[in-house]
């Protein structure tokens, strides 16, 4: 089954404690992306990757890092999380315009 | 820059009612347009798409037509069901001058259908 998986699905953490949200896709897509969803703001792109070792900033990259060492994986790293990063995060992958989304990771930073 | 404006909800309808959710966009190039649906507790699923002017996307009884002259992509369904209750997002992807397949989303419209 074609899918995008994310882990963990739910995470509560404290300010400053480094964390990683994993994302994996099994569709051999070159393009992957991270979004955050906030009430009243819709979804906004954090980072994207056109292929292995090729990443670039989206609209709201501050406080986040990504890496793309393998085609299937695109982890999102928060080196020093802060409360304003409390949000619902989605990973997506696509061949072209039609993007497939993961189930989401709900992160709370206290 | 690109932007998407969709009608704010929430929208509450009775089963079998007609649904319209308005969506208009601003883009510098020739975008592809999408409607995504998010059911409670789940990720986003592509509902339908249109890649050029006058294209009609359709799926599960939902339809939307790409209107370049009015920069609109309104979502319609003739008879909604309780199972259609969800948040609906209008989105565009415009790669003019770039390589990012970024989706620009509207803020979402919560639809509740009552029996």
Q: pLDDT for B18-28, tens place per residue?
A: 999 999 999 98
Under 8 Å CB-to-CB from A7, ≥6 apart: which residues?
A: A21, A22, A105
pLDDT at B97: 52
Q: Are A55 and A68 in contact (CB under 8 A)?
A: yes
Report the residue of chain B nearest A34, measured CA to CA.
B102
Higher-scoring residue by pLDDT: A96, A72? A72
Taking residues A93-104, report their average pLDDT. 87
- At A33, give phi and psi (nearest 5°): -155, 155
| pLDDT above 70 as % of chain B | 96
Q: Are A48 and A54 in contact (CB under 8 A)?
A: no
Q: Which of A33, A43, A100 is opposite residue B105, by nearest beta carbon?
A: A43
Residue A62 backbone zone (phi > 0: left; psi -120 to 50: alpha; other: beta) = beta
CA distances from A28 to A2, A32, A89, B78 (A): 10, 10, 22, 37
Rounded Cα–Cα distance for residues A94 and A84 (Å): 28
Lowest mean pLDDT segment, chosen from A65-74, B43-52, B79-88: B43-52
pLDDT at B98: 62
Q: Using a CB-CB distance cutoff of 8 angstroms, which residues of chain A are in contact with residue B36?
A: 101
Residue B5: is its pLDDT beyond 90? yes
Taking residues B69-80, report their average pLDDT. 97
Q: Which of B36, B45, B93 is opposite residue A97, by nearest beta carbon?
A: B93
Encoded tokens for B107: 């803020």
Residue A37: is its pLDDT beyond 70? yes
The predicted-structure confidence for A46-90, as pLDDT tens digits, reads as follows 999 999 999 999 999 999 999 999 999 999 999 999 999 999 999
* Helix/strand/coil for B106: coil
Cα angle vertex B5, ends B35, B67, to 5°? 65
Closest to A22 (Cα-Cα) out of A82, A80, A66, A85: A66
Q: Which of B42, B43, B99 is opposite residue A50, by nearest beta carbon?
A: B99
Give A6's strand partners: A23
Query: Do residue B101 and residue A90 have CB atoms under 8 angstroms apart?
Result: no
Higher-scoring residue by pLDDT: B101, B81? B81
pLDDT at A97: 73
Q: How far is B80 from chain A (nearest CA, A)?
A: 24
Closest to A85 (Cα-Cα) out of A58, A57, A105: A105
User: Which position has the token pair 């896709």?
Assistant: A25
Lowest mean pLDDT segment, chosen from A20-24, B14-18, B62-66, B94-98: B94-98
Q: Using a CB-CB distance cutoff of 8 angstroms, which residues of chain A are in contact with residue B43?
A: 4, 90, 101-104
DSSP letter, residue A78: E
């Amino acid at each position: 089954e074609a899918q995008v998986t994310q882990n963990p699905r739910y995470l509560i953490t404290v300010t400053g404690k480094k964390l990683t949200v994993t994302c994996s896709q099994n569709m051999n897509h070159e393009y992957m992306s991270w979004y955050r969803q906030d009430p009243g703001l819709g979804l906004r792109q954090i980072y994207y990757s056109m292929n292995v070792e090729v990443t670039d900033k989206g609209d709201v990259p501050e406080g986040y890092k990504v890496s793309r060492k393998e085609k299937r994986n695109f982890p999102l790293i928060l080196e020093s999380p802060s409360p304003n990063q409390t949000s619902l995060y989605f990973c997506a992958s696509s061949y072209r315009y039609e993007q497939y989304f993961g189930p989401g990771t709900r992160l709370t930073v206290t | 820059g690109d932007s998407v404006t969709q009608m704010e909800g929430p929208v509450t309808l009775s089963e079998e009612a007609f649904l319209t959710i308005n969506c208009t966009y601003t883009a510098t190039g020739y975008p592809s347009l999408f409607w995504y649906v998010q059911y409670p507790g789940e990720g986003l699923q592509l509902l339908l798409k249109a890649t050029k002017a006058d294209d009609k996307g359709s799926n599960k009884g939902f339809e939307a037509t790409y209107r370049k002259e009015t920069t609109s992509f309104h979502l319609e369904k003739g008879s909604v069901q309780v199972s259609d209750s969800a948040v609906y997002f209008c989105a565009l992807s415009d790669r003019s001058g770039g390589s990012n397949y970024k989706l620009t989303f509207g803020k979402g419209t919560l639809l509740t259908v009552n029996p």
